[in-house]
Amino acid sequence: MYMPGRKLEELSFYRKLSIYGQKLGVDVFVFTPDDVDDNRSRIHALAYNQATRSWTRRWVGFPPIVYDRCRYHGADNYRKITRFRQKYTKLRYLSRPLANKWIIYRLLSEDENIAPHLPSTVHYKSRKQLEQFLKKHPIVYMKPKSGTGGRGIIRLQRLRGGRGYLMQGRDAERRILPAAKVTAAHIPVRLADWGLQSKYIVQQGIPLELKDGRVHDYRMLVQKDGQGKWQVTGCAGRIGPPFSVTSNLHGGGTAISMETLLKNRFGTEEKVKSIKETAYTLGLHIAKHLEDKFGTFCEAGIDLAVDPSGHVWLLEVNPKPSRDVFRLTGDLQTYRRAIRRPIEFALHLLQKKAAPKTDTKNLDFASPSQQSESD
């Protein structure tokens, strides 16, 4: 939560939202649950002054729409954010928490358009189960059910001749862990040594390595537009740093355009076009299916992999995505559209249904104090 002297998460993003909001006639305020005066039904929120290029605090009433960007990192944050959403259920939220990775996988597997793009996945229960899974898949990823930003992800590769497994990954702070050769019996021990005691899913490994050995994937941003329709705002590639099992930007990854990365791998324009069409169609199917299950929300970051044959796989869905990948590739048009669309969708909702008696031009944006965790 906000503390004096500490930066709010994504404050630069909120500054851009405020500027776009002013252009569209919308006041954007930023707050956390700690800024709420429950007794007087008001919020001590941050407002950006474009003329002075500075943030100031102002008492405001509750808004008709809240764009929840809070991350549930830390038990204290989780309790405060959950308590706020449970108490103020009548507020309209642009975004919503979905579910953990295991539940998302099970829900998406129900859709015949999505199921062929899902890697085989099980809920981790025992070492024996993990060994059986490794017999079917020479490379598997272990992912915390509720983890984000690449934290705690482990990659296991079966060694030739049944000589154990190569185990590598990132710890809970996203630090790269040194690769180690382990037996099946030592995998749980090594997880404990690394402080990784979370509940995991185990997932079929998709070949992600480029020629230089670094892993890569694609981040797609799917958003509601000003007419309330799902659109693929954009998609870009991410390449992880050396020795990393993930490509997340905040874990040291670099951004590259989707077209460039696909052309480097597959060569022909026809193949690249086919893969992009498949990926874009899949992204829209995923967003629509999750909306059917959880209700209206405004955006999702969808992590995709493309194997050497060109088949598109879904790796993960992030309900509170960053959009920095487009800025880092130099695609500023897509980056600006990615910032603008939540405000346009909010205006669509206000026009569709009469707003509460509070100021209909105010949109509030919630954020904890930690630095941005999603990419």
pTM over cut 0.85 = yes
59: which strand partners? 44
The DSSP bridge pattern shows strands 200-204 and 216-224 to be: unpaired
Closest CA to 26 of 52, 65, 79, 69: 65
* Separation between Cα atoms, residue 278 and residue 275, nearest integer Å: 5
The pLDDT tens digits for 290-339 are 999 999 999 999 999 999 999 999 999 999 999 999 999 999 999 999 99
The answer for residues whose C-beta is within 8 angstroms of residue 120's C-beta and 6 or more apart is 133, 136, 137, 203, 204
Three-state secondary-structure class, residue 345? helix
Q: Kindly report, as residue ranges, where domains of CATH 3.30.470.20 are found in the chain.
A: 111-115+210-353
Look up residue 139 and give its DSSP letter: E
Compute the mean pLDDT over every residue in the chain, rounded to the nearest whole number.
87
Of the two residues 72 and 138, the one the predictor is more confident about is 138
The pLDDT tens digits for 245-297 are 777 777 778 999 999 999 999 989 999 999 999 999 999 999 999 999 999 99
As a whole number, mean pLDDT of residues 146-157 equals 80
Sheet holding 121-123, edge to edge: 121-123, 200-204, 139-144, 154-158, 165-170, 176-182
154 neighbors 190 (Cβ within 8 angstroms) = no
77 neighbors 85 (Cβ within 8 angstroms) = no
**What crossing angle do the helices spanning 101-108 and 269-294 adopt, rounded to 10°?**
110
pLDDT at 370: 36
| 355 pLDDT more than 70 | no
| 11 pLDDT more than 60 | yes
pLDDT at 22: 92
As a whole number, mean pLDDT of residues 80-105 equals 89
pLDDT at 55: 95
Task: Assign domain 111-115+210-353 to a CATH class.
Answer: alpha beta
Which residue has tokens 């020795």? 243
Banded model confidence at residue 221, pLDDT cuts 50, 70, 90: very high
Banded model confidence at residue 189, pLDDT cuts 50, 70, 90: confident
Closest CA to 327 of 70, 10, 82: 10
pLDDT at 170: 82
* Separation between Cα atoms, residue 136 and residue 96, nearest integer Å: 36
129 neighbors 150 (Cβ within 8 angstroms) = no
| 5 pLDDT more than 60 | no
Three-state secondary-structure class, residue 12? helix
